[in-house]
Amino acid sequence: MLKNGKLFGILLVVSFLLLGCDAESQPVNEDGYGWPGETWPTSTPEAEGIDPTVIDSIISDINTGEYGLIDAFMVIRHGMVVADLRFKQDYESIMARYDTTDYMYNYDHVNWHPYFDGTMLHSLQSVTKSVTSAALGIAIDEGLIDGPHVPVLPFFEDYEFDRSDERKQALKLEDFLTMRAGIEWKTAGGYVSNEHSTIIMENSDEWIQYVLDQPMDAEPGTRYQYNDGASVLIGKIARVATGQRMDDWAREKLFVPIGIDEFYWKITPDGEADTEGGLYLKTEDLARFGYLFLRNGVWNGEQIISEEWVKASTSPVVAEVDEGSPGGYGYQWWVPSQKDGDAIIFAGNGYGGQFVMVAPDYDLVVIFNGWRIHEGANKSSYRALQDRILPATSTDD
């Protein structure tokens, strides 16, 4: 029985710290980095300059429930996997206490959350936004969109909505990317509230129309306010520009080039990929995505996304999302730690405990997947990289 009796039966189903593994025997490319083929090259924390006792202590805390419901924990340094663990949770019993209606936006139905229909494809929730931004960046790289400063209303000519507000006419793509759209979005009460704009949107039949119909409450580009609807409109902009739905575009331009051959992406009632939170990936494939950004958009010698887009996306364009907080925001990426305008850590964050965290100066990618929407936690997995792993990691000279 775990702490406070909230959880039980955590069973470690995949685990390797590979003690005694010779890192030099693992495949390393001519650029000096490990690159995954069908599987990731492996090493040990100690061989890659990480104090193994810290990794062990995080695993212990996961097992005792300190981090709440954790499904996966993965650490990659220098392209080598030094920790890769999966944890079995009794979601059937946990979710039976709540509404079990079989609906893809019921976050308490085991067919949809946290795994998709019995597979190892894990819900990413808002990490989907970071993936969408990456795919959008490829469209910009290919000249299909003239950059992040283009006006957005021309992409919605097929929709009828009130365009009279000059603030709405002034909207630019970057305003959506940085969550500074100025479109009213009610978030009081969180995602459990039926008055939350995202919940209303997810229960509607016309997502895009719903977002476009919302009034403006601020000048675009002036005030940060997290807005899932803006991310939905980004997906539609990419659809108009590329002629492909986001899941198809991402498959061709992003997933296949980095070795991701299996995913699931929810499709909204109006026929678009849910670009605010509908993507599912295996944990090891989410790590591929983080590693692509660690390597500035290069995958095994091929430039998949321009370095310019990677840098712009993961820089704190919004220096502070909360007054007095060091946390910033880029192009659908969080920047929880920064210095002099550069990211020390950038991250894709998802509801329920999905995190892909990247520390470029330390050559590190850390993944947590979980589903703690009801169960509490004594420690934040989002802080594990910054507070525990980085201090235990040697710097590369």
Across residues 362-367, what is the average pLDDT?
Answer: 98
- Higher-confidence residue of 217 and 19: namely 217
Q: Is 344 helix (H, G, I), strand (E, B) or coil?
A: strand
Expressed in angstroms, the distance from the first to the final Cα of the chain is 45
- Residue 323: band (very low, low, confident or very high) from pLDDT cuts 50, 70, 90: confident
Q: Catalogue the E-assigned strands of 55-190.
A: 70-77, 80-88, 122-123
Measure the CA angle with vertex 70, ends 315 and 99; round to 5°.
105
> Looking at the predicted structure, is the pLDDT value of residue 250 above 50?
yes
* Range picked from 26-40, 89-103, 354-368 for highest mean pLDDT: 354-368
Question: Tens of pLDDT along 328-355?
Answer: 999 999 999 999 999 999 999 999 999 9
pLDDT at 136 over 60: yes
pLDDT band at 322; cut points 50, 70, 90: confident
Q: Does position 169 have pLDDT exceeding 80, yes or no?
A: yes
Closest by Cα among 310, 263, 255 to 288: 255
Sheet holding 122-123, edge to edge: 122-123, 279-281, 264-265
Which pLDDT score is estimated for 33?
82
Mean pLDDT of the chain: 92
Among the residue ranges 95-99, 154-158, 288-292, the one predicted with the least confidence is: 95-99
pLDDT at position 19 over 80: no
Query: Helix 127-141 crosses helix 283-294 at what angle (to 10 degrees)?
Result: 50
pLDDT for residue 6: 38
* Residue 42: how many other CB atoms lie within 10 Å: 20
Span 76-100, average pLDDT:
95
**82 and 392 Cβ atoms separated by less than 8 Å:** no
Q: Are strands 302-303 and 264-265 parallel, antiparallel or unpaired?
A: unpaired
Overall residue count recorded for the chain in this entry: 397
pLDDT at 363: 97
Give yes or no for residue 357 having a pLDDT over 90: yes
Residue 395: predicted pLDDT: 87
pTM of the predicted model as reported, rounded to 2 decimal places: 0.93
Q: What secondary structure letter does DSSP report for 254? A: I
* Position 30 confidence tier, pLDDT thresholds 50, 70, 90: low
- Mean pLDDT across 78-93: 97
Judged on CB neighbours under 10 Å (0-12, 13-18, 19+), 195 is exposed
State the sign of the Cα–Cα–Cα–Cα dihedral 261, 134, 284, 29: positive
Domains and CATH numbers, the chain: 1-99+352-397 (no CATH), 115-332 (3.40.710.10)
pLDDT at residue 18 greater than cutoff 80: no
Task: Tell me the percentage of the chain whose pLDDT exceeds 90.
Answer: 86
